[in-house]
Structure 1
Amino acid sequence: MTTYHIIFFILVGTIIFAIDQKREYFPVPIILLLVGVALSYVPFFEQVLLTEKMIMHGFLPALLFISAYQLPLKDLKKYYGTFIALSTIGMLLTAFLLAVLIYTTVGISLSIGFVGALLIASILTPTDPVSTVNILKTSTKRDELADVVEGESLLNDGTSIVLFTVVAGIFSNQKSFHIGSFISEFLWVSIGGVLVGLIFGYILSKVIFWLNHREYQVMVSIVLAYGSFLVAEHIGVSGVLATVTSGLILSYEIDITSQKRRPDYLNGFWENINPIVLSILFIVMGLEATDLLKISDFWAMFVIFILSLLAREAILLIMFKLLPNLHNHFKTKDVHLMTWCGIKGTMSIALLLMFKDQYSGHEDSIISLTIGAIMLSMVIQSLTIYPLSKRN
């Protein structure tokens, strides 16, 4: 990807963001994705590639940090148990149920074994609220519901990486599955990531308030977002959870230090970074997706997309009955909306590219089916969130 490509993508993003200021009916990220698909047929963009490292080390820390930093702490305190339950037990149950459904339907027809089905499920389970949270808040006027969707997504990204790594290793015959080793690895990666985020977040948030110059404070916040991620990944724990935790710690420190008034310069910087990152990321995702799709398997992609919704709905209904914070503050019909808001996005693409780059040999069909289901989720769910939420 050259400088010319990057500047062009930012220009396109600027135009689309400017045209669609309300972002109600047509979420900007999805428009950018479709622009990327269209640009894939232009020779000038043939050499543009999206890799797992570009997403994980370039785009993802910024997007996660922004979401964590802006998540209202009152909702975090109120629903932290719900967030943890949905992003761990709920996500694992959803992945297993989806794998069973894929294996007993599409898997039989296309000769995909259960481990292959579980691999697809592990990629499709993490959710991405980037395209939906603003729409949900605008259409329903219920910020609390949108924040629950966002909080679940922030934490389940970390769970999804652990699950994917174990399943991909089994699929590639690199290691056998043992429940004890899986639990210990999951706890190490998850708790380790949170601890790194806590340490980085506490120390650097103190530094931010100690510095007198706004420019330096912004620079330290960048170090916090990316440094926590890179250090966590280097020692083998979850960089995703480290960045999320560090963003939450900074948000907390600002609330208790600044009488709940967020510094305009920090908000302004990260709010300006967000559309730039989204513009580049989603356009390049569209370019990459075109090369991975096999249109002949469209029927199977659509079936997997429907099954992913059914699996999420079933587990959310169970969790709704078990978690007091959910059934005391929301209605059953809200579960349907939460299901539809569980769009596959950035993390799913990153995991798929990780599999493609590190594990894949001759499993192009799995890659094609998975990217197809991701694309269907992003387009269909995003474009229908507004009318469905207005009816809710």
Structure 2
Amino acid sequence: MHSFAPEIILITILGLVVFSDAVANRFKIPSVFLLLIGSYTIYTYVPMAVPIDLKYYFDAIILFCIPLIFMGDALHLHFSDIKKYGWDIFYLAVIAVALSISVGASMYYLGVFEGLTLGAYVSLFAINMATDAVSVQSILSRFQGISHHIKVLIEGESLGNDATAVIAFFFIGLPWMMSGEIDAGHAAMDALRVFVVSLGIGVALGFAFYMLMKLFSDKRGEFFMFIIEAYLAYVVAEEMHVSGILTLITAIIATKAWIDMDIEAHEAEGKARKTRSFLHKLRLDGIRATTNERLEYIYEMAKEFGYIAAVMIFFVLAEMVSVEKLWQYKVEILIMFGITTFIRAASMAKFAFFGHKTKSIQPVGKEGWFILTFSGMKGALSIILVHMIPASFEHKEFFEVVTTGVVMMSIFVYGTVLWGYFTFVKKEEEPSIFKK
């Protein structure tokens, strides 16, 4: 007799997505709350709806979901926004994350978590400083009235923050944690190598796929090309032992940037145009890779695919959740959640209180600081990273339970704060934030 396990799990996932969206729209609540609660309830009490051993296939599920999760968010960044807010995004994606991990690791000298080495602290905070784009969009997508600047920061951070956290974890924290020692100079150079090589591969692939897309003129083919690019960039980078996530993000952003430049050039066709430079001719800017109308379709489909991939990760999270273990480590979870929240609030304060003192950083005001602080929800990437810790590590259970607890608390606590603010303090009628 045939096994219909794949069909059943697909029905379960899509059914949960549809049901969560319907209830969320009806009662004006974030759908991510329902997805988390629903995935845990179904996995625990309706096992026939999840007939696949998700724990056994965890690695395959992760490798399948990562490109889809990051692709959609990368497509939302516009080239003009990157030029205008580049330093802001760099601060959030690199400097703020590095400082946050360093501050978190300094808790080692206070003995906050007994038995952990300094390397383990670096790994723990690298894992728990990574934000989740899908969770943030699920909550904030219902609200209007947020400045475009803050939208760009949220989108840019959710990408760059994750890439930096991954490099810090795999090339600094994890080796240090497992070996007990590390050559700081070698680790720094290795991280820099990974950063540079990942960017280089991403830009090269981005240009290659941008040129390939000039061969298509239909939205479905272009959308599938973006999916192929995301998976190929991730696989190639991982095979070369650099950052698959950073390469993937760079490739998609690069392709999208050249497309944006083409669209801007064609929109200016009715105006006086300068003679095309060699670079313009090199990229055949007279041939359009896509159009604004087809891009809207691509955005929507990428968002839906990423949403489904995130739900698959939530089911894996449900498999990891143990109420008994969460209660056992409740103090550690609360401490970790409090420390990461404080660090995030402090790092975001630069935009609210010190941005006007730095020409390259634009201020966002107190409300912007509030939104940026509580948009730091954790999710899929934190679960992925903690799973990558070898089983031989004696504190792996502590890492898994604490990270799971922080992920859940960040989604429910941060999400409730933002939802309450926009629902009762700053009421808005139209439910959209990530559309210009």
Q: CA deviation at 1:212?
A: 4.0
Matched AA of 1:169: P
2:311 is matched by which residue type in structure 1?
S
1:368 and 2:401 aligned:
yes
Q: Distance in 1 between matches of 2:6 and 2:322?
A: 20
Cα distance, 1:15 vs structure 2: 1.7
| 1:302 equivalent among 307, 313, 334 | 334
Is the contact made by 1:197 and 1:243 (CA closer than 8 Å) also made in structure 2? yes
Q: Which residue does 2:349 correspond to in 1?
A: 317
Match of 1:282 in 2: 314
Moved more, 305-314 or 378-387: 378-387
Q: Match of 2:412?
A: 379
Contact kept, 8 Å, 1:87 with 1:152, in 2: the verdict is yes
Listed one character per residue, the Cα deviations across residues 151-185 of structure 1 (whole Å, up to 9, x for unaligned) are 01201211111211221222111x73222112211
Q: Is the alpha carbon distance of 1:115 and 1:142 closer, same or farther for their aligned partners in structure 2, counting shifts above 3 Å?
A: same
- Determine the structure 1 residue equivalent to 2:299: 267
Aligned-partner Cα distance in 1 for 2:61–2:87: 29
Q: How many residues align?
A: 387
| Greater relative CO (CA pairs within 8 A, separation 6+) | 1
Alignment of 1:47-196 (within 5 A): 47-49=53-55, 53-54=59-60, 56-101=62-107, 104=110, 106-107=112-113, 110-133=114-137, 135-136=139-140, 138-165=143-170, 166-173=172-179, 176-196=181-201
Q: Say which SS state the counterpart of residue 388 (structure 2) adopts.
A: helix
Residue 345 (1) aligns with residue 379 (2): yes
2:282 counterpart residue number: none
Closer, same or farther: CA 310–267 of 1 in aligned 2, 3 Å: closer
Instruction: Give the superposition deviation at 1:359.
Output: 5.5
**Separation in 1 of the partners of 2:123 and 2:231?**
28
Could you say if the C-alpha distance between residues 180 and 132 of structure 1 is closer, same or farther in structure 2, counting changes exceeding 3 Å? same
Deviation at 1:207, TM superposition (A): 0.9
State the one-letter code of the partner of 2:238. Answer: E
Query: 1:27 maps to which residue?
Result: 30
TM-score by length of 2: 0.80
Please, what is the CA RMSD of the aligned residues? 2.8
Give, in whole Å, the separation in 2 of the partners of 1:35 and 1:295. 21
* Structure 2 unmatched runs, 5+: 268-290, 427-436
Instruction: Say if 1:267 and 1:20 are closer, same or farther in 2 by CA, change over 3 A.
Output: same
Q: Is the 8 A contact 2:117 2:177 kept in 1?
A: no
Q: If each structure's helix is expressed as a fraction of its own residues, which one has the higher value?
A: 1
The gaps in structure 1 that reach 5 residues or longer are: none
**Deviating more after overlay: 250-259 vs 231-240:** 250-259
Instruction: Please state how far the C-alpha of 1:119 moved relative to its aligned partner.
Output: 2.2
The 3-state SS of whatever aligns with 2:371 is: helix
Alignment deviations for residues 196-234 of structure 1 (CA, whole Å, 9 cap, x no partner): 111111111111122245443333222111111111111
Name the CA distance, whole Å, in 1 between partners of 2:346 and 2:365.
15
Tell me the alpha carbon deviations over residues 240-293 of structure 1, each in whole angstroms, 9 at most, x when there is no partner.
Answer: 111111221222233233446141543343244233223323233223333894
Cα deviations by residue, 1:103-158 (Å, 9 ceiling, x for unpaired): 63641xx4334333332111101111322246446143323212202201201211
> 1:353 Cα deviation (Å)?
0.8
Indicate the structure (1 or 2) with the bigger Cα radius of gyration. Answer: 2
Indicate how the Cα distance of structure 1 residues 56 and 198 shifts in structure 2: closer, same or farther if over 3 A, else same. Answer: farther
By how many angstroms is 1:85 displaced?
2.2
2:54 and 2:319 in contact (8 A); partners too: yes
CA contact (8 A) 1:123 1:351 kept: yes
Tell whether the 8 Å contact from 2:13 to 2:311 is kept in structure 1 after alignment.
yes
Aligned mates of 2:99, 2:25 — CA distance in 1: 38
The equivalent of 1:38 in structure 2 is: 41
> In structure 1, what is the equivalent of residue 241 of structure 2?
236
Q: Deviations over 1:296-354 (max 9, x none)?
A: 11122112101110111223325763673686341144223211111111111111111
